[in-house]
Amino acid sequence: MLDIQFIRENKDLIELASKKKHITFDVDELLKVDDKRRELLTSVEKKRAEQNEATKRISDKAVTAEERTFIISEMKELKESLSAEEEKLKEVVAEWQRLMVQVPNIPDMSVPEGKDDADNVELKTVGEKPAFDFEPKSHIDLCQTLDLVDFERGTKVSGFRGYFLKKDAVRLSFVLWNYFLDFFAKHGLETMMAPALVNREAFIGTGFLPQSEEDLYKTQDGQYLTGTAEVPVMGYFQGEVLDKSELPKKILAFSPCYRREAGSHGRDTKGLVRVHEFYKLEQVTLCEASHEESVKHHEAMNALTEAAMTELGLHFRTVLNCGGDLGLGQVKKYDIELWVPSENTYREISSASYFHDFQSRRLNIRYRDEEGKMRFVHSLNATAIPTPRILVALFEQYQNADGTITVPEILRPLFGKEVIGK
């Protein structure tokens, strides 16, 4: 959420942000509602002051009985008028809040123009593409041959996009989680295990609602299942005032994740790329209210995930996301994409974003600066690792001609063997 005064003073910027992000938003409508809100608020406050003054006069011993009767009569009319305006103010404020949570954040000047992920800009590639002297198999064929995943029974038990990981795929998932936990802990991140069941307020605060409601699973109690630990971790600090000495807070959170994939009909219906239920380690950082600090941490968080992928020996590229591939609150975003040989393409494995105070203003997460002034923290997040998605590229890049899969060298001490399938 942006400050309403900033919106009023920078109407053109909001319009440009909407255009660049390909988001439909009428800033003029918001400003009209805000004018009405301000007008009603001023009138209500004035009438409340008049009501308080009249109450004082009634209790004044110097006021005669006749004067008191007249004041009470006037108060009755004032009370009725005030009650009507307070009710109207509630309606206007509700509409104002509805529009305020739709205001897009301003993207960084370095964000390229573009409609969707096809317009993202490649920044670099890391490592060499694996060279095969045989036709590489898909992760689906590899998994089924080695009995690592059962898609058929997964669909039978949990429906469309369901799956069972089995045998070494399960063991490798645990090894990857432990490897990433150790890797990020060495770089000073505090670890958390976050809940997947989260109240609506945290989703509104992080910007996932109301825009992405169709992609969320909702319970009969009005709670939602989250698709990333970013949501509960930001909710963890909701309404709190942090000590400046605590900043930056760097957290690595593990959680089960759920997405309906409502907007991806017909895409990746087979395999482990786009599933409804998965697990993820997510980086979340809270820092001082400084653009320079946000940029510094954004680069560092993305670099950490790049370093982890490099240690795994995976070939990948990093892209800068275009305006149309940014969410409502994101100022700038990088995607790391792993090479998938059977598809001859790259697949997104991690996103790193910063928001300035967009999320913290909604969630009221603040700190007191050196001058004693309350400031909203800046927030950032970056995927550390999603499973089972990482298995797609890992299995395909490390496959052998005989259908076995070589285990990345750095994982072998934890995994206990060098090859899956022997």
Active centre residues (catalytic): 259, 274, 348, 351, 389
Q: What is the DSSP letter of 1?
A: -
Residue 277 near residue 257 (C-beta atoms within 8 A): yes
Smallest CA-to-CA distance from 18 within 80, 88, 102 is with: 102
Residue 202 near residue 263 (C-beta atoms within 8 A): no
CA–CA gap between residue 162 and residue 169 (Å, rounded): 15
- Read off the tokens for 101: 């949570």
Q: Look at the block and give the residue holding tokens 């964000």.
A: 111
User: Which pairing describes strands 197-198 and 190-193: parallel, antiparallel, or unpaired?
Assistant: unpaired
Smallest CA-to-CA distance from 364 within 380, 375, 356 is with: 375
CA–CA gap between residue 174 and residue 166 (Å, rounded): 12
The values of phi and psi at residue 165, to 5°, are -80, 145
Residue 255 near residue 229 (C-beta atoms within 8 A): yes
- Read off the tokens for 114: 């573009």
3-state DSSP: the chain helix, strand, coil percent, rounded to 5?
45, 20, 35
Smallest CA-to-CA distance from 197 within 138, 255, 129 is with: 255
Which residues have C-beta within 8 Å of that of residue 107, sequence separation ≥ 6?
A: 17, 20, 21, 323, 326, 330, 331, 332
Determine how many CB atoms are found less than 10 A away from the CB of residue 60.
10
CA–CA gap between residue 41 and residue 76 (Å, rounded): 20
For the CA atoms of 200, 203, 205, 209, the dihedral, rounded to the nearest 10 degrees, stands at: -100
Residue 120 near residue 335 (C-beta atoms within 8 A): yes
Phi-psi region of 357 (alpha: psi -120 to 50; beta: other; left: phi over 0): alpha
